[in-house]
Amino acid sequence: MTDGNDRFRQWQTGPVRHRTTRRHRKDTLTAGERRRLTQLLVCLLVFGVVFIGRGAPEGHLRNLGDTLGQWVHENTDFRAAFSKVGKSVSDGEPAVQTFGLLWSEIFGNHSDKAEAEGMSTTEGEGGNLPVAETKILPGVGEEGQTAGEGSTGQQPAAQNPAAETTPPQTPASETKTPAAPTQASSEKTSATTKLMDGEVVTPVMGVITSGFGYRTHPIDGEWKEHEGIDIMADEGTPIKAFAAGTVDYVGESPAYGMYLQLKHDNGVTSFYAHCSALLVKKGQKVKAGDVVAKVGSTGNSTGAHLHLELKKDGVRVDPALYVKVLTQ
């Protein structure tokens, strides 16, 4: 065999191993083998320590883990990022769009929300892509509108649970191109972004206990999309109408408890759930700020809070952008 052939074989079969024969003797190990074995044992020990130490409540290891973890996770919610990519394939989005999503979600910057939002919105508008749209999967037709039961949302929105602020991201609808509301800034200040003309009122002033987007469901522990925000408040707190409009429907269900929906101008609807009492009837006209219900804990709820959803032209948006909230 010439040298060239041996080299080919080496390359073909992986890293170079100088010993080509295996010795099955049970004698003592050579110095080299002993060293390697010690190294392996040390590494296994470190692995064991880390594995167990991860659960430790206090101490340097925990602090180190928190610091490192913060650095890695501060900017990107990896679980949501991968889920979003998966959803992109599942929804039958064009391949180019999915690849772009792969890049921007896994590697991209998520701190500059306007930039990230701009990227996903541009990709959401299929007409702008100059390349022929090859779909990975055949597109999904009209996926059933989720009617009041808490089934999966149509629009994925990634959220970083580590950060205190809820990052705004306009979800892209698979059947319509989203009308992206103008983003004021990425910081959660008391100033709210404009969703529609006319006066807008915060239904309940409180702390957001659960934000918009993917999160671990507090009751069943599933990784689900949260289609609105949860605002903590005492039982019986009056819930004010988000804006002037008409009562679209009122109802009661095991998941949402007592709920109601208001229809406003500009294609905006607001939805209020887990109420303890509903104070309006279907078809009734309300002004911005009118008390329409009371906070409760009916339905699938862990405590008294208002579950608030906002939709513009059928697309769910993050209500935290459009109402005032109390920071902790």
Partner 1 sequence: MELHVSGGFCLLLALLLFLDEDNLVPWALFACFLHEMGHCMAIRYVGGRVSSLHLSVVGAEIIPERHRMFSYREEFIIAAAGPAVSILVALASSLAARAPWPGQERMLLFAGLNLAAGIFNLLPLGPLDGGRMLRIALLRANRMWEVEQFYQKMTLVLSLGLISLGVSHLLHSGGNPTLFLSGLWLLSTAKHENA
Which one of the spans 94-102, 191-199, 252-260, 314-322 is the region binding partner 1 (CB under 8 A)? 94-102
CB of residue 105 to partner 1, shortest distance in Å: 8
**CA 172, CA 145: separation in Å to the nearest integer?**
15
What is the x/- site pattern for partner 1, positions 194-233, by CB under 8 A?
--------------------x-------xxxx--------
Pairing of strands 268-278, 257-264: antiparallel
Stretch that binds partner 1, among 106-114, 199-207, 231-239, 256-264 (CB under 8 A): 106-114
Helix axis angle, 113-124 to 95-102, nearest 10°:
170
Smallest separation, CB 77 to partner 1 (Å) = 8
Judged by CB, which is closer to partner 1: 127, or 138? 138
263 contacts partner 1 (rule: CB under 8 A): no
Angle between helices 60-73 and 31-53 (to 10 degrees): 80
Smallest distance, Å, CB 179 to partner 1?
25
Burial class of 97 by CB neighbour count within 10 A (0 to 12, 13 to 18, 19+): buried
Is residue 42 part of the contact set for partner 1 (CB under 8 A)? yes
Q: Which stretch binds partner 1 (CB under 8 A): 97-105, 119-127, 278-286, 303-311?
A: 97-105
Q: Of the ranges 24-32, 103-111, 177-185, 280-288, which one interacts with partner 1 (CB under 8 A)?
A: 103-111
Give the shortest CB-21-to-partner 1 separation in angstroms: 11
User: In whole angstroms, how close is the CB of 267 to partner 1 at the nearest point?
Assistant: 27
The HSE-up count of residue 42 (CA atoms within 13 Å, CB side) is 6
Question: Please, what is the minimum distance in Å from the beta carbon of residue 163 to partner 1?
Answer: 12
Amino acid letter at 100? G
39 belongs to the binding site for partner 1 (CB under 8 A):
yes
Task: Please list the residues that pair with 200 across neighbouring strands.
Answer: 243
Q: Site for partner 1 (CB under 8 A): which residue of 112, 197, 235, 265?
A: 112
What is the Rg, in whole angstroms, of the alpha carbon atoms belonging to the chain? Answer: 27
Task: Determine contact, residues 167/153, Cβ cutoff 8 Å.
Answer: no
- Residue 207 Cβ, how far from partner 1 at the closest point, in Å? 23
Strand partners, 224: 215
Could you give the string, one character per residue 43-72, with x where binding to partner 1 holds by CB under 8 A and - elsewhere? xx-xx--xx--x----------x--xx-xx
Q: Give 113-116 contacts, CB < 8 A, sequence gap 24+.
A: 113/167, 113/168, 113/169, 113/183, 113/186, 114/183, 114/185, 114/186, 116/169
Whether the CA torsion 268, 271, 272, 278 is positive or negative: it is positive
Residues in contact with partner 1, total (CB under 8 A)? Answer: 63
From the list 9, 176, 282, 287, which residue makes contact with partner 1 (rule: CB under 8 A)?
9
* Phi and psi at residue 16, to the nearest 5°: -70, 130
Interface pick for partner 1 out of 14, 32, 130, 141 (rule CB under 8 A): 14
For tokens 């930039």, the residue is 115
Rounded-to-10 torsion of CA 314, 320, 325, 328:
140
Decide if residue 90 touches partner 1 (CB under 8 A). yes
77 touches partner 1 (CB under 8 A): yes
Cα four-point dihedral sign 50, 52, 54, 58: negative
| Binding positions for partner 1, rule: CB under 8 A | 4, 7-9, 11-16, 20, 39-40, 42-44, 46-47, 50-51, 54, 65, 68-69, 71-79, 81-87, 89-90, 98-99, 102, 106-112, 136-137, 140, 151-152, 162, 214, 222-225
